[in-house]
Chains A and B, each alone.
Chain A
Amino acid sequence: MSFQVLVFYVLAAIMIFAAIRVITSRNPVHSVLFLVLAFVSCSGLWLLLEAEFLAIVLVLVYVGAVMVLFLFVVMMLDINLQRLREGLFTYLPLGLTVALLMVLEIGLVLWARSSQLRDMPAPPPLPENYSNTKELGRLLYTEYVYPFEIAAVILLVAIVAAIALTLRRRKNTKYQDPAKQVSVRRADRVRLVSMPSVQREPEIPPEAGSGASTGEQR
Chain B
Amino acid sequence: MQPIAFPIPDLAPAAPEIFLLVAACAVLLIDVFLAERSRWVSYVLTLITLAVCAVMVVTGTGATVYTFSDMFVRDPMADVLKVSVCVAVATILIYGRTYIGDRGMYRGELFVLALFATLGMMIMISASHLLLLYLGLELLSLALYSMVALQRDSRAAVEAAMKYFILGALASGLLLYGMSMIYGATGTMNLEQIASAIAGTDNPKVWVLGLGVAFLVAGIGFKLGAVPFHMWVPDVYHGAPTAVTVFIGSAPKLAAFALVMRLLVTGLESMVVDWQQMLLLLSIASLVIGNLTAIAQTNLKRMLAYSTISHMGFVLLGVLSGDLNGYGSAMFYVITYVLMSLAAFGMILLLSRDGFEADMLDDFKGLNRRSPWYAFMMLITMFSMAGLPPTVGFYAKLAVLQAVFSAGFIWVAVLAVLMSLVGAFYYLRIVKLMYFDEPKDVTPILPHPDMRLVLSVNGLSMLVLGILPQPLMALCIVSIQYSL
CB distance from A114 to the nearest CB of B (A): 11
Closest to A115 in B: B204
A146-B132, A160-B113, A165-B149 known; A154+B208 contact, CB < 8 A: no
| B142 at the A interface (CB under 8 A) | yes
Question: B173-212, CB under 8 A of A: which get 1 and which 0?
Answer: 0000000010010000000000000000000110110010
Whether B123 is near chain A, meaning CB under 8 Å from some CB there, is yes
CB distance from A101 to the nearest CB of B (A): 12
A10 at the interface (CB under 8 A from B): no
- Quick one: which of A127-159 are within 8 Å of B by CB? 138, 141-147, 150-151, 153-154, 156-158
The minimal Cβ–Cβ distance linking A103 to chain B, given in whole angstroms, is: 14
- Least Cβ–Cβ distance between B153 and chain A, in angstroms: 10
Contact check, B136 vs A150: say whether CB atoms are below 8 A apart. yes
**Residues A161 and B208 in contact, CB atoms below 8 Å apart:** no
From 91 to 118 in chain A, residues with beta carbon under 8 angstroms from any chain B beta carbon are 105, 108-109, 112-113, 116
Contact B207 A108 (CB under 8 A): yes
A residues within 8 A CB of B69? 142-144, 146
Report the count of interface residues on B (CB-CB < 8 A).
Answer: 40
B21 on interface, CB distance cutoff 8 Å: yes
Residue of A nearest to B25 (CB): A156
Question: Which residues from B are CB-within-8-Å of A113?
Answer: 184, 205, 208
Interchain CB contact under 8 A, A153 and B6: no
User: CB-CB < 8 A to A154: which residues of B?
Assistant: 135, 138-139, 142
Given contacts A150-B123, A157-B116, contact A112 B205 (CB under 8 A): yes
Q: How far is the CB of A63 from chain B (nearest CB, A)?
A: 23
On A, residues with C-beta under 8 Å from B are 105, 108-109, 112-113, 116, 138, 141-147, 150-151, 153-154, 156-158, 160-161, 163-165, 168
The residue on A at minimum CB distance from B153 is A168
Knowing A145-B68, A150-B123, the reply to whether A164 touches B107 (Cβ < 8 A) is yes
Shortest CB-to-CB span from A166 to chain B, Å, is 9
Knowing A113-B208, A143-B69 touch, does A164 contact B4 (C-beta < 8 A)? no
Interface flags for B77-119 (1: CB within 8 Å of A; 0: not) read 0000000000000000000000000000001011011001001
Q: How does the 8 Å CB contact mask read for B148-192 relative to A, with 1 for contact and 0 for none? A: 011010000000000000000000000000000100100000000
- Tell me whether B146 and A161 are in contact (CB under 8 A): yes
Contact check, A116 vs B132: say whether CB atoms are below 8 A apart: no
Can you identify 15 A-B contacts, CB atoms within 8 angstroms? A109-B211, A112-B208, A141-B4, A146-B14, A146-B69, A146-B132, A151-B135, A153-B21, A153-B139, A156-B116, A157-B142, A157-B143, A160-B146, A161-B113, A164-B146
Question: Which residues of A are found within 8 Å of B361, using beta-carbon distances?
Answer: none
Contact of A165 (CB < 8 Å), options: B129, B131, B152? B152
B119:A153 contact, CB within 8 angstroms: yes
Q: Are B135 and A161 in contact (CB under 8 A)?
A: no
List the A side residues contacting B113 at CB < 8 Å. 157, 160-161, 164
Contact yes or no, A161 B68, CB < 8 A:
no
**B142, A161: Cβ atoms closer than 8 Å:** yes
Which one, B72, B109, B129, contacts A164 given CB within 8 A?
Answer: B109
User: In the complex, which residue of chain B has the Cβ closest to the Cβ of A164?
Assistant: B109
One of A141, A143, A146, A157 near B72 (C-beta < 8 A):
A146
Q: What 14 new A-B contacts, CB under 8 Å, besides A154-B135, A157-B146, A161-B145?
A: A109-B181, A109-B207, A109-B208, A113-B208, A116-B204, A116-B205, A144-B69, A146-B72, A147-B131, A147-B135, A154-B138, A160-B112, A160-B113, A164-B109
Q: In the bound complex, what is the Cα–Cα distance between A158 and B129 (angstroms)?
A: 23
Establish whether residues A161 and B204, one from each chain, have CB atoms under 8 Å apart when the complex forms.
Answer: no
- Residues of chain A with a CB closer than 8 A to B72's CB: 146
Tell whether, in the assembled complex, residue B116 and residue A147 are in contact, meaning their CB atoms are under 8 Å apart: no
Q: Any chain A CB within 8 A of the CB of B28?
A: yes
Provide the bound-state CA to CA distance between A165 and B146, in Å.
Answer: 7
* Interchain residue pairs A-B with the least CB separation, the first 8: A161-B146, A164-B109, A112-B207, A146-B68, A142-B6, A150-B135, A143-B69, A157-B116
Residues from chain B with Cβ under 8 Å of A144 in the complex: 69, 131
B231 to chain A, nearest CB (A): 16
Residue B71 at the chain A interface, CB threshold 8 Å = yes
A161 touches B181 (CB 8 A): no
How distant is the Cα of A143 from the Cα of B132 in the complex, in angstroms?
A: 13
CB distance from A110 to the nearest CB of B (A): 10
**Nearest A residue (CB) for B70:** A143
Set of chain A residues within 8 Å of B205, measured between Cβ atoms? 112-113, 116
Q: For the complex formed, measure the closest distance between the CB of B2 and the CB atoms of chain A, giving whole angstroms.
A: 11
Contacts of B21 in A (CB 8 A): 153
Q: Whole-angstrom distance between the alpha carbons of A52 and B339 in the complex?
A: 53
**Contact B139–A165 (Cβ < 8 Å):** no
- The answer to whether A142 and B4 have CB atoms under 8 Å apart is yes
Contacts of B184 in A (CB 8 A): 113
> Cα distance A163–B107 when bound, in Å?
12
Flag if A138 contacts B4 (CB, 8 Å).
yes
Chain A residues in 8 Å Cβ range of B28: 160
Bound Cα distance A157, B109 (Å): 10
Flag if A164 contacts B150 (CB, 8 Å): yes
Residues of A within 8 A of B110 (CB): 164
Residues from chain B with Cβ under 8 Å of A116 in the complex:
204-205
Complex Cα distance, B208 from A112, in Å, reads 7
- Residues of chain A within 8 A (CB-CB) of B6 are 142-143
CB distance from A148 to the nearest CB of B (A): 10
Q: Which residues of B contact A161 (CB under 8 A)?
A: 109, 113, 142-143, 145-146
B18 to chain A, nearest CB (A): 10
Contacts of B25 in A (CB 8 A): 156
Contacts of A112 in B (CB 8 A): 205, 207-208
Q: Residues of B contacting A108 with CB < 8 Å? A: 207, 211
Closest to B214 in A: A105
| A105 proximity list for chain B (CB < 8 A) | 211
With both beta carbons as reference points, the residue of chain A lying nearest to B142 in the complex is identified as A157
How far, in angstroms, from A142 to B207 measured CA to CA in the complex? 34
User: With A and B bound together, what is the CA distance between A168 and B132 in angstroms?
Assistant: 34
CB distance from A69 to the nearest CB of B (A): 20
Q: How far does the alpha carbon of A109 sit from the alpha carbon of B204 in the complex, in Å?
A: 12
| Cα(A165)–Cα(B143), bound, Å | 12
Nearest Cβ on chain A to B34's Cβ, whole angstroms: 15
